[in-house]
Structure 1
Amino acid sequence: MSQSRSVRLSHRTVLTILLVLVVAAGLVLAVFQPWKAFTNTEVNEALPAPSSPSTETQTVSPRPAAAPKDLAEGRFVTHEHATSGLARTVRLADGGHVLRLEDLKTSDGPDVRVYLSTRDAEAVKTGLGDGAVELGKLKGNLGNQNYTVPAGTDLSQFRSAVLWCQRFSVAFGAADLSTATG
């Protein structure tokens, strides 16, 4: 004669297990944000245009505004997520600088930031390196967008533009910045 053994859990134990599972699921969702794998955010900003002087302050023959000048550029290469597009550093007519991302295509992510790094695009797979400058959160994973470079930043010190996931410390992709021709 065999005896069957049954385990009975109290209502309190069942509720505790369910509560733990709900909290764990909430934490997983908050950290990984899996819905981002299925979403896209497109941004299409124009390159900042020079401001024209007001008619009150114009002289008889106003000087034409200086055109933006490309300083360096490079194509994105894929690291942790498929990434393509062009990164350009541009000096604006007012003397300021922007990093411009054009035709960008990458994955959406939970905390993707745009950086300039002193390391080349291949080397940032293992980290941004000393002296990296954050330009802000990625505005969208598709399209054309501008990121203001802080005043006083010596762009000659930077070798790449990087899309970096802060939460997981990985590069989505990076672009070596080579001196622009022309």
Structure 2
Amino acid sequence: MTRTGTGTGAGAATGTATGPRRRRGRLLAWVLIAATLVLGAGLYWAQPWKLWQNSTVNEALPTTSTAPGPGSSRPGAAPAPGPQTVAQGSLISHEHSTSGTVKLIKLPDGSRTLRLENLDTSSGPDLRVWLTDAPVKEGSDGWFVFDDGKHVSLGKLKGNKGDQNYEIPAEVNLADYSSVTIWCDRFNVSFGAAALQAA
């Protein structure tokens, strides 16, 4: 009876020790699951792989189709007006290395287009092309200023390289804006920007 009692006590001790081990195992499993979910969400949000992806877009200078006016086909008649560059500037680097030329172009029908030429920047999550009234500053001091004042988004960046056109809505008063930024809307930071000067 003494031996049986001793055996029962050892078994009880083993059972008691197994309980905490199981609880610790379940807790560790939940911690690993939570960490995996957090890491996955962070990767989806930041999308760091885009920094090594390139997308080149080469669009021709926009033109408008207008019916020829009376006498426009006569010999010696003045040629129809073409697109006119009204302002332009050179992109400088901010959070990412960026270069290229920005042009504000007025088309013969009166519509306006923002054109990026020879753009070369990094890809990233949720990049936009903005017209803004902010000054363009060199270095990190200029990274975050473009959403402080007046700005208008012309849409998502079509590609991080090449020549691209962005229609400017008719209601936008270009006199209110003095710069263009390639803006990361997800992290509120400028990849690059250009100050606009009258052409």
TM-score, length basis structure 1: 0.86
SS in 1 for 2:108: coil
Which whole-Å CA distance do the structure 1 matches of 2:49 and 2:163 have between them?
A: 23
Counterpart among 120, 124, 129 of residue 135 in structure 2: 120
Equivalent in 84, 89, 100 of residue 115 of structure 2? 100
* Cα displacement (A) at 1:52: 4.4
Identify unmatched segments of 5+ residues in structure 1: 1-6
Equivalent AA in structure 1 for residue 52 of structure 2 = F
- 8 Å Cα contact 2:94-2:142 kept in structure 1: no
User: Shift of the alpha carbon at 1:126?
Assistant: 3.0
Partner of 2:165 in structure 1? 146
Q: Return the match for 2:35 from 2, 21, 25.
A: 21
Which amino acid in 1 is paired with 2:145? G
Answering whether residue 69 of structure 2 is matched by residue 73 of structure 1, we say: no
- Displacement after TM superposition at 1:8 (Å): 3.9
Higher helix share: 2
> Which runs of 5 or more residues in structure 2 are unaligned?
1-19, 74-78
Deviation at 1:15, TM superposition (A): 2.3
Distance verdict in 2 for CA 1:34–1:73, change over 3 Å: same
CA displacement 1:18-70 (0-9 Å, x = unmatched): 211220111111111011011001000111112143xxxx6663475420000
Say which SS state the counterpart of residue 129 (structure 2) adopts. Answer: strand
2:181 paired residue among 162, 168, 177 = 162
Q: Is the 8 A contact 2:116 2:165 kept in 1?
A: yes
How many positions carry a matched residue from both structures?
Answer: 170
Identity level (%): 42
Is the partner of 1:126 in helix, strand or coil? coil
Q: CA deviation at 1:131?
A: 1.8
